[in-house]
Every structure is written in C-alpha cells, then in structure tokens.
Structure 1
Amino acid sequence: MDQIRMMDQNLKCLSVAEEKYSQKEDKYEEEIKILTDKLKEAETRAEFAERSVAKLEKTIDDLEDKLKSTKEEHLCTQRMLDQTLLDLNEM
C-alpha cells in the first residue's frame, strides 16, 4: 500500500512538473514569436534605410556633378567677361 501511495505522489509531482514546464514552454513560444516579429520589423527598417542611403548617395553624386558643371560655366562666363573688358579697354 505504501508503494502505491508513493507512486501516486510521484505521479502527482510529475503532473505538477509537466504543467509547470508546459506553461514555461508556452511562455518561451510567445517570446520567440515576439522576437521574430521584432526581427522582421528591424529587417524591414534596415532595408528601407539602405534604399534611402542609396538614393541620398545618388542625389549627392548628381549635385556634385551639377556643381562641377556650374563652376565650369561660371569660369567660362568669367573668361568671356574678362575678354570683353579687355576688348572694351582697347577701343
């Protein structure tokens, strides 16, 4: 009889432990889901940031090209103005 009581107590302990670990497993699964969602969100933000950086780098390149072109135009205009002033002074 004592052996049966002991087996019954062991079974109850195992049942309580199973419930406890089942709850922990559920909790960990929920944490994994939350972290997975956060990872997906972070990856989406990173992809958006990469695209934004690429667009900004292209904009910078375009502006640098435009600045170079404008400086060259300014230099040509300055040379023409200088030449015109020289021509006017020679008259």
Structure 2
Amino acid sequence: MDEQIRLMDQNLKCLSAAAGKYSQKEDKYEEEIKIITDKLKEAETRAELAERSVAKLEKTTDDLEDKLKCTKEEHLCTQRMLDQTLLDLNEV
C-alpha cells in the first residue's frame, strides 16, 4: 500500500510538472496568437487605406481623362475656327 501511495505521489508530481509546463506553453501560444492577431488587424487597416487610395487615384485618372477629352475637343474646334478664318481672309 505504501508503495502504491509513493507511486501515486510520484505520478501526481509528474502530472503537476507537466501541467505547469503545458500551462507555460499555452501562455506562450496565447501571446503569439495576440501578436499575430494584432499584425492581422494592422495589415487589414493598411489594405483598407490602400483600397481607398486606389479608388481616389482611379477617380483622379477618370477626371483627367475626361478633361483631356474636353481639351482635345476644344482644340479641334479652335483649329477649325482658325482654318475657317484663314479661308475667309484668303477670299478677301
């Protein structure tokens, strides 16, 4: 009986040591999870900012393309007017 108690006591000590070891590992893993979660949140925030920047740049590009088109049309109209004026002057 004493031998069984001694063995159970040793087993209890081994289990307690293992529990402490695994508790430390669990704490370490929880800290790693927290760090990785924080990094993920930062990456998501950066991605959202990048998406907004891309949207702004696309809008700016569209606006500039529209402005270029209008300017080309104005230039064409001005060129036609100048050509007609030159023809009128040559007829005089």
TM-score category, normalised to shorter length: over 0.9
C-alpha separation in 2, matches of 1:8 and 1:39: 46
Partner of 1:45: 46
C-alpha separation in 2, matches of 1:76 and 1:66: 15
C-alpha separation in 2, matches of 1:53 and 1:32: 31
Give the letter for the 2:48 counterpart: E
Size of the aligned set, in residue pairs, is 91
Partner of 1:63: 64
C-alpha separation in 1, matches of 2:55 and 2:89: 51
Extract structure 1 runs of 4+ deviating beyond 6 A.
none
TM-score, normalised on structure 1?
Answer: 0.97
C-alpha separation in 2, matches of 1:20 and 1:90: 104
Identity of aligned residues (%): 88
Which 5+ residue runs of structure 2 have no aligned equivalent?
none
TM-score, normalised on structure 2?
Answer: 0.96
Cα offset for 1:24? 0.5
Cα offset for 1:4? 1.1
